[in-house]
Amino acid sequence: MDLDTIRAMDAADPLRDFRDRFELPDGVVYLDGNSLGALPKVTAARMADVVNREWGQDLIRSWNSNHWIEAPRRLGGKIARLIGAKDHEVVAADSTSINVFKALSAAVQLRPGRSIILSETGNFPTDAYMMQGLAHLSGGRIEQKLLPADQIPAALNDQVSVLLLTQTHYKTGRLHDMAALTRAAHAAGALVIWDLSHSAGALPVDLNGCQADFAIGCGYKYLNGGPGAPAFLFCAERHHGDVFPALSGWFGHAAPFAFDDSYEPGAGIDRFQCGTPGILGMAALECGLDLMLEAEMAAIRLKSQALGDLFIALCEDRLTGFALASPRDAAQRGSQVSIRHDEGYAIMQALIARGVIGDFRAPDILRFGFTPLYTRYEDVWLAIEALAEIMKTGEWREARFATRAAVT
């Protein structure tokens, strides 16, 4: 495939105009939107307005007059459209880690008498860590079990209260079959929590079509909400009334401004709020969501798969010494391609020094994320060109690329 053909693909891309709506530095090929989404151009002006007018001038009146109080529900409703949920089943709140705990503790409560909380070895660590914390807190009543993905279906039995899985694997991009695994868990009487951190905004998700129970996910990846953006939590409507939240903060109370001494869960999804929402973060996330909702999810998925296929084809054509860590079949893959190399860290640093930004996940994974709203086919070409050059010159061997930074 040559550059002219690739440029023609960009020219024919139905999503091509979205790229201009993002702040992307000159000379940078950004393939890390799966870790931190790029900045929508509209966000800076919106943030200035929230800070200067809503906070600066309107002050505390903004909770009512500028609808701050509704932000978690309003944004939840927008996220719901991206993940196959009803708008009153999703709330934007807290971090993904905190929402993992809320969903886990709720699920455990809905399945009394069952002792096992189950997940996959190699899942994103925070999911496993939060499970460990809940098990520890239970004083031995709850036991965490981690198994390789292929052993999960056979481990679903009448002792499992909840199965927690990440739909798109953070390292490899491998997709789980959400419908099949949810069905298998339900057949065993267990509930399911889906971590959609690498799925929301990257591919079509149909939580209600799969009868999912809970889901959680990040706002700062494909939703372009900014560093540390609010996360989201989905709870199927059928469970709302049965959950007494473990994190029973006043924002989840039925009447927060009644200031009762005793906690009474709010109606529906509101009970999954906890404390005062961070309005600056909500404002930035809403900009990312509004932009994403202008695009067709089917077009996003189609382009994401084509970008990944192109990356794999060029990689195999131009490079040696790397092993594909992601599924070759685009239907089995999220919106990233990962390749392995023993010297992956130094190679990624050399690539970043050339302006091609991906990231590294220990011990040997180089990760490249594709964000169809702003990634061009030409970016994939440029990334592989730079990688081929780095391998040819051996510049990755320079000492400066060996020093590990705090964030990889």
Rank residues 89 and 195 by Cβ distance to ligand PLP and give the closer one.
195
- Enumerate residues 6+ apart whose C-beta is below 8 A from 399: none
220 included as an active-site residue:
yes
| Cβ proximity of 177 and 187 under 8 Å | no
Rank residues 98 and 110 by Cβ distance to ligand PLP and give the closer one.
98
251 included as an active-site residue:
no
| Cβ proximity of 90 and 80 under 8 Å | yes
17 included as an active-site residue:
no
145 included as an active-site residue:
no
102 included as an active-site residue:
no
Q: Of 19, 78, 171, 221, which one is the catalytic site residue?
A: 221
Rank residues 399 and 407 by Cβ distance to ligand PLP and give the closer one.
407
Shortest Å distance, C-beta 231 to ligand PLP: 6
- What token pair was written down for 370? 């594709």
Q: Of 22, 124, 170, 232, which one is the catalytic site residue?
A: 124
> Alpha carbon of 79 to those of 68, 161, 245, 276, 344: distances in Å?
17, 27, 22, 20, 35
Q: Of 94, 367, 368, 374, which one is the catalytic site residue?
A: 367
Rank residues 66 and 326 by Cβ distance to ligand PLP and give the closer one.
326
Helices (H) and strands (E) in the chain, counts: 12, 15
Report the candidate in 53, 80, 77 with the shortest Cα–Cα distance to residue 65: 53
- Output phi, psi for 161, to 5 deg: -90, -40
Residues of this chain that interact with ligand PLP (CB under 6 A) are: 95-97, 124, 126-127, 166, 170, 195, 197-198, 218, 231
Distance between CA atoms of residues 359 and 378, nearest Å: 19
Binding residues for pyridoxal 5'-phosphate: 96-97, 124-127, 166, 195, 198, 220, 250, 276
- Enumerate residues 6+ apart whose C-beta is below 8 A from 293: 78, 81, 82
Q: Of 220, 234, 311, 345, which one is the catalytic site residue?
A: 220
Catalytic residue annotation: 124, 195, 220-221, 367
